Structure 1
Amino acid sequence: MERVSWQPLALLLLAAAAAVASGTEVGYDGRSMVIDGERRLLISGSIHYPRSTPEMWPDLIRKAKEGGLDAIETYVFWNGHEPRRRQYNFEGSYDIVRFFKEVQDAGMYAILRIGPYICGEWNYGGLPAWLRDISGMQFRMHNNPFEQEMETFTTLIVDKLKEAKMFAGQGGPIILSQIENEYGNVMDKLNNDESASEYIHWCAAMANKQNVGVPWIMCQQDQDVPPNVINTCNGFYCHDWFPKRTDIPKIWTENWTGWQPKYGHLKDLHNVLKSMEKILLHGDYKDTTMGNTNVMVTKYTLDNSSACFISNKFDDKEVNVTLDDGATHVVPAWSVSILPDCKTVAYNSAKIKTQTSVMVKRPGVETVTDGLAWSWMPENLHPFMTDEKGNFRKNELLEQIATSGDQSDYLWYRTSLEHKGESNYKLHVNTTGHELYAFVNGKLVGRHYAPNGGFVFQMETPVKLHSGKNYISLLSATIGLKNYGALFEMMPAGIVGGPVKLVDTVTNTTAYDLSNSSWSYKAGLAGEYRETHLDKAKDRSQWRGGTIPVHRPFTWYKATFEAPTGEEPVVADLLGLGKGVVWKCLTGCNEPSQRFYHVPRSFLKAGEPNTMVLFEEAGGDPTRVSFHTVAVGAACAEAAEVGDESKAALAAFTAACVGKESCTVRHTEDFRAGSGCDSGVLTVQATC
């Protein structure tokens, strides 16, 4: 369970009420955001529009609102909107105007986080790889090539949203805009403090001249804060963080709650906070340590009312805290209790009192497995088995991202050499790629991948050369590009520089250094050029039926299937496939870390065949793939606080599990006695 820390005055959660058509005035003071002249306690959550389909947006936004949120924030995804320079995409999941209109239709405010560097667990942090092709380009530094491209894209987005009247002053939902993203975390590591400072001040000036009519924010910009922006906090803990100026509010733009069973628990928190909005934003407050700096009471007073927060920073023990009225309250370790009247605990961050449900296979619906009709097609590797017909040649080993322009995860490095007689060698390749396949004279001789995320490794594999011309083809693959850190765009990929050499198996010395040979380059696979994934009519004769080969690398598979009936979400169970599945054996041995992938209903056609195309790189068994629907399963609520739980279950788990790395407890009927839970489901919450 995530540890939650809280200091109420220091936290301003972003939020809003519905904008009115006549326009909304947005401002701020040192205490909060000010909407149409009123201080507001604002609570917001993220929905990233490209990570779902337009058909899903209304339901996602509705659920966010029902969870107590009043505003939706999203990044803007530059490399998705401009995959090639001056070629734009605002269709489908990238229809940003439609997304904000959905937010507005739901009666919510919106926060526009343009960036356009976003991090966001998104390839290259949202920056297009084609930026590297521009002469003199330095990412996120004070230089004309980058600033010109950044301003062009930022202006494009702003103008598009202005045209649609999406900003609050126009009657739209957007109440805040963000420029750059977490730059303060890296600016002192960029080896040029002057350029970094000039750049971040340029960002603020460029943003403000856009005249969007709402404040601009910069998150994690704690040092060298430009004027006319609000600097904000991201992270798990922002209770000790304060903005640089006293005339701006404290805003927590990212509260990383991703590992907590959070929806119902946070909904309860939002409701409690909203009930205290006036006293939190207008009342006087005082912090009082209770005998130890790890225990604090923060008390708000306004007129004749009061509200209290009790914080326990001890991570290993609960505390008893007695307030002014003489009542004593037990506060669990590393938690905060909220008392809206300073008398009764309405919420504690460590006690999950809400119902927690899990997704289960929907009963009564047959899983679509046997009905899948499979066919297959080998990836055509033949054109890449010589060093002919490449895009270009170079007498050096080049960096992969700049060479391929990130138009494919794959880049072929191919060369040849004349050899007298037959001999055995070790092929040695040094690479900064993520994966590497080696072919000699058309045969796969080796495969290696970067272990534990360290993208530098060496591959050595035995090879046999024949007399005459021999061809060496190396396929380098990336699995997503780095998206965070100082100068992250300078981190190389591929076989840049090498060396690539043939090592004598007897003397263990270099027989041939191929690093500066004539290398032929080609990005992508044949199936990518043919767009095999689109299952075009002209290619359908290439698919083979009959017995489906399994554990065969570089193979395309296709299946037709009927969509599962009903309205529940559909998932593809990709158990059996290879690349992309990480196997673990601490718990759940022989089970993949992820096997279920959501398939939006809007992708499927009801009552007629649907087609799925898979490319299996490493070798897997597609016949184990299936589809089924999922639904919310039963759960027992009110099971997290002493007095609510089954005492028999608590005693059994305490005896068997406390102080141990793993434990096993046999379920008995005694667990249900007196617990008030008749669902047959036992929920155990543990803190390690």
Structure 2
Amino acid sequence: MTNPQKTSRREFLTALTAAGIATAGLVPAGAAMAADARFTIKGDDFLLDGQPFHIMAGEMHYPRIPRELWRDRLKKLKSLGLNTLCTYMFWNAHEKRPGQYDFTGNLDIVAWIRMAQEEELWVLLRPGPYVCGEWDSGGYPAWFLNDPTIKPRSLDPRYMGPSGEWLKRLGQEIAHLEIDKGGPILMTQVENEYGSYGNDLTYMRAVKDQVRAAGFAGALYTVDGAAVIENGAIPELFNGINFGTYDKAEKEFARYGQFKKSGPRMCTELWGGWFDHFGEMHSSMPIPPLIESLKWMLDQKISLSFYMVHGGTSFGFDAGANFDKNTRTYQPDISSYDYDAMLDEAGRPTPKFEAAKTLFQNYLPADRFAPLPEPEKAIEIKRFRLTESASLSQLLGKPASAAAPKTLEQLGQPHGLVLYRHKAATALSGQLSFGDVRDYAQVSVGGVPVGTLDRRYHETALEIAAQKGAAIDVLVDTMGRINYGDQIGKDQKGLVGAVKLGDKTLSGWDHYSLTLEDLSGLTFGKTHIDGPAFYRGTFEITEAGYTFLDMRGWGKGYVWVNGHNLGRHWSVGPQHALFVPAPWLKVGTNEVIVLDLHEGAERTLSGGKNQIWDRPGLVEV
């Protein structure tokens, strides 16, 4: 994908379409719907119970919103005048390890869809298996693509078998929530913007068959960019198109009309904002061109869906990554998925929300606009010191040994860090090089740091000198797996390929897996620790509310508040605060733990009412 700061907006969005970036939408299947179906297509209209139905949807993702806040966000969607929720299903969130499914708590998708129904919202379902969405590996579990020779999004049986099983398991959970079975699901999407990735309609129809076999009997649809719709759209289904703020809706639908002459039209993803990569400029997009596209579509009675109406947060390890195919540069996504959306990361209506609502009020009856819920309170937390520390080495368990370094996937590790250790059999001196480092490595020899390697800069080698018997340690921190384009399924993590000193291969490596899923084994003390360490402190609050932890002054790592992993922090920006939802805080004493891979003298935090961005501004035209 291209850098939005070095290209025009139009070229940028066109490049995204060509690269296959996350943008999908909503809408139904045409030819094979049952005669008595409640949701159908007739002529140029969607029909709901026999009456023309104009889909006005907004996308939100359940894992990016604490469950306690789901209803608040759904009510706000409704308050904008929208009538439909669009939502991905995330395979890797539900099946982190083979055969171990989780549909509880924040992953209770039945509760998510039922709650939408309770709020009188219809649902457009996007089950993947590939979803993109700036989500780790586009939704594919790490264990599934442990072999780079597997060809995702193809008829490769090593792909189709597990992906079909996932859809079948998903169908057992939610297929009964389709509209003709009493639920709110109007349509279910087949794949996701496949036309930006490939052009095998035999594969697309095979995925469609898997969706049907999973029990989804209602309307099906596909989504693509208009420029590549012939590559991915199944013509006998409804086909939506996706485009962004700076694309002229009239032009996009004129291109769509070359593919499909009749039937309803829909912008299945209207990108009113954009996402951010670590180390780049914070993205925002202006309001006027978005409103212009909206007005034109409303005048034409074209259905639409905002991507995103509320982005939320990619907590923990869930953020994905992009890959610039021109420069072969890895671009990890930040944890905030604010997306410059209608509702900000904390769920607050933005000026973009108000502008769209003002427009919609000219087209919709007053009763379409539900009242906004009472706003949550933003709280400030006075700066406090994290006075205790614990070495990362406390979490080192029994190592796995192998001649050559293994990836996380080969180790059966879904995410986190791995410490690779080689004991020098003889004195060594020269250039230590790796096939690839994914994604950030700290190298030390005999306990002494010698340098870091950052994948974003294609760094794979440094100079070392080691005495006989010294440990060569390579601590690798993994960032998001690539979630779009031709690198999907090829982004296995850790050290990849042979490790060499000069032209000699170093054989014999111990692997210490650090999943960071359980910190209960840490023992904290007051002593100073050199190198990567956990820091612990407490703070008091006297009233409920949310806050943003100010991470300025820290290096790189992760943050937990009361056991909840808030995501990644990294001084390279553009994000310098981590969102702490109100339900994760408690009146009284709260605990925060920060893992920082970098040493630093000042270990303090504070909480503020807003996200902290550096270098804010609009994506260049």
**Please, what TM-score do these two structures have when normalized by structure 2?**
0.70
* 1:73 CA displacement: 0.5
Structure 1, unmatched stretches of 5+, are: 5-11, 17-22, 189-195, 282-337, 341-345, 348-358, 503-509, 585-591, 632-661, 663-683
CA distance 1:161–1:409, shift in 2 (3 Å): same
Q: Which residue of 1 aligns with 2:392?
A: 379
Residues 478-526 of structure 1: per-residue CA shift (max 9 Å, x gap): 2111111125212454432234215xxxxxxx5xx134x223333327x
Q: Is contact 1:68–1:270 with CA below 8 Å preserved after alignment?
A: no
Give, as a single letter, the amino acid of the residue that structure 1 aligns with 2:234. P
CA positional deviation for 1:177: 0.6
When residues 229 and 404 of structure 1 are mapped into structure 2, their CA distance, relative to the original with a 3 A threshold, is farther
Question: Which of 443, 457, 460 is equivalent to 2:459?
Answer: 457
Q: C-alpha separation between the residues in 1 aligned to 2:101 and 2:359?
A: 51
Q: Compare CA radii of gyration and give the structure with the larger one.
A: 1
Q: What code does the residue aligned with 2:439 have?
A: H
Matches within 5 A, 1:513-552: 513-515=504-506, 517-524=507-514, 528=516, 531-532=518-519, 536=520, 539=521, 542-545=523-526
Give matches, 1:527-676, under 5 Å: 528=516, 531-532=518-519, 536=520, 539=521, 542-545=523-526, 553-563=531-541, 565-566=543-544, 568-579=545-556, 592-606=573-587, 608-620=588-600, 623-629=603-609
Q: SS of 1:62's equivalent?
A: helix
SS where residue 207 of structure 1 aligns?
A: helix
1:312: which partner in 2? none
Partner of 1:287: none
2-side partners of 1:442 and 1:339: how far apart? 62
Task: Name the CA distance, whole Å, in 2 between partners of 1:410 and 1:545.
Answer: 25
Q: Corresponding residue for 1:79? A: 92
Q: Quick one: which amino acid aligns to residue 391 of structure 2?
A: P
Q: CA deviation at 1:617?
A: 1.2
The structure with higher relative contact order (CA 8 Å, sep 6+) is 2
* Partner Cα separation in structure 2 for residue 361 and residue 208 of structure 1: 45
- Three-state SS of the structure 1 residue aligned to 2:165 is helix
Q: Measure, in 2, the Cα distance between the counterparts of 1:94 and 1:227.
A: 33
* Structure 1 pair 106–413 and aligned structure 2 pair: CA distance change class (3 A): same
- The separation in 2 between residues aligned to 1:553 and 1:31, in whole angstroms, is 64
Deviations 1:623-666 (A, max 9, x none): 331124469xxxxxxxxxxxxxxxxxxxxxxxxxxxxxx9xxxx
2:409 to 397, 402, 407: 402
Residue 470 (str. 1) matches residue 470 (str. 2): yes
Q: Residue in 1 aligned with 2:400?
A: 391
CA shift digits 1:313-354 (9 cap, x unpaired): xxxxxxxxxxxxxxxxxxxxxxxxx999xxxxx79xxxxxxx
Q: Which moved more, 1:123-132 or 1:484-493?
A: 484-493
Which residue matches 1:638? none
User: 1:67–1:264: 8 Å Cα contact kept in structure 2?
Assistant: no
Q: Secondary structure at the match of 1:380?
A: helix
Residues 168, 215 of structure 2: 8 Å contact kept: no
Instruction: Give the alignment partner of residue 257 of structure 1, picking from 272, 295, 316.
Output: 272
Q: Which moved more, 1:428-437 or 1:61-70?
A: 428-437
TM-aligned CA distance change 1:361 to 1:483, over 3 Å? same
1:217-250 CA-partner distances (Å, limit 9, x unpaired): 1111532643542222122233333164445322
Instruction: Report how far residue 272 of structure 1 moved.
Output: 9.5
The question of 1:233 aligning with 2:244 is answered no
Residue matched to 1:168 = 179
Q: State which of 42, 50, 54 in structure 1 corresponds to 2:55.
A: 42
User: What residue identity is the alignment partner of 2:243?
Assistant: G
Change (3 A) 1:571 1:469: closer
Are residues 381 and 375 of structure 1, via their aligned partners in 2, closer, same or farther at CA, if it must alter by over 3 Å? Answer: closer
Change (3 A) 1:208 1:246: farther
Distance 1:140 1:616 in 2: 37
Q: 1:89 to 1:685 in 2, by over 3 A?
A: closer
Map Cα deviations across residues 379-425 of structure 1 (whole Å, 9 max, x no partner).
217969xxxx531312x344x243234423323333233326xx754
- Asked if the contact 1:14/1:71 (under 8 Å) is kept, the reply is no
* Structure 1 residue 108, shift from structure 2 partner: 1.0
Letter in 2 for 1:391: A
Using a 3 Å threshold, how does the CA distance of structure 1 residues 79 and 460 change in structure 2: closer, same or farther?
A: same
8 A contact 1:24–1:170 mirrored in 2: no
Structure 2 stretches lacking a partner, 5+ long: 11-23, 29-35, 275-283, 304-357, 364-374, 557-567
2:256 maps to 1:242: yes
**Match of residue 453 from structure 2:** 448
1:448 CA displacement: 2.1
Q: 1:614 to 1:39 in 2, by over 3 A?
A: same
Alpha carbons 2:376, 2:546 under 8 Å: kept = no
What amino acid is the match of 2:196?
N
Contact 1:575 / 1:595 at 8 angstroms: preserved in 2?
A: yes
Report if the CA contact (8 A) 2:547-2:581 is conserved.
Answer: yes
Percent identity over the alignment is 22
Distance apart, 1:265 and its partner CA: 9.8
Deviation at 1:366, TM superposition (A): 5.6
From 201, 204, 212, the equivalent of 2:216 is: 212
SS at match of 1:117: coil
RMSD of equivalent CA atoms: 4.1
Q: CA deviation at 1:211?
A: 4.8
Measure how far apart 1:273 and its partner are. 6.8
* 1:241 alignment partner, SS class: helix
Asked if the contact 1:204/1:226 (under 8 Å) is kept, the reply is: no
What are the Cα deviations for residues 190-213 of structure 1, in whole angstroms up to 9, with x where unaligned?
Answer: xxxxxx443212112222344534
Amino acid at match of 1:181: N
CA contact (8 A) 2:27 2:268 kept: no
Tell me if structure 2 keeps the 8 A contact 1:573–1:626: yes
TM-score (norm 1): 0.64
Residue 432 of structure 2 contacts residue 464 of structure 2 at CA under 8 Å; is this kept in 1?
Answer: yes
The count of corresponding residues between Structure 1 and Structure 2 is: 496
Change (3 A) 1:15 1:219: closer
User: Which residue of structure 1 aligns with residue 314 of structure 2?
Assistant: none
Offset from partner CA, 1:534-580 (integer Å, 9 cap, x none): xx4xx57x21137x67xx531101111123525x4322222221115
Write the letter of the residue equivalent to 2:216: V
1:199 aligns with 2:235: no
Q: 1:135 to 1:425 in 2, by over 3 A?
A: closer
CA distance in 2, matches of 1:14, 1:184: 16
Structure 1 pair 95/107, CA: closer, same or farther in 2 (3 Å)? same
Q: Secondary structure at the match of 1:415?
A: strand
Matches within 5 A, 1:138-157: 138-157=151-170
Secondary structure of residue in 1 paired with 2:230: coil
Distance in 2 separating the partners of 1:686 and 1:477: 29
Question: What amino acid is the match of 2:231?
Answer: Q
Deviations 1:440-498 (A, max 9, x none): 22332222212xx35x32221342x33x4333222233211111112521245443223
Equivalences for residues 358-437 of structure 1 within 5 A: 367-370=381-384, 374-380=387-393, 390-394=399-403, 396-398=404-406, 400-419=407-426, 425-437=430-442
Mark the CA change 1:613 to 1:199 in structure 2 (over 3 Å): closer, same or farther: same
Counterpart-to-counterpart distance in 1, 2:376 and 2:583: 21
Distance 1:40 1:67 in 2: 17
Shift of the alpha carbon at 1:119? 0.5
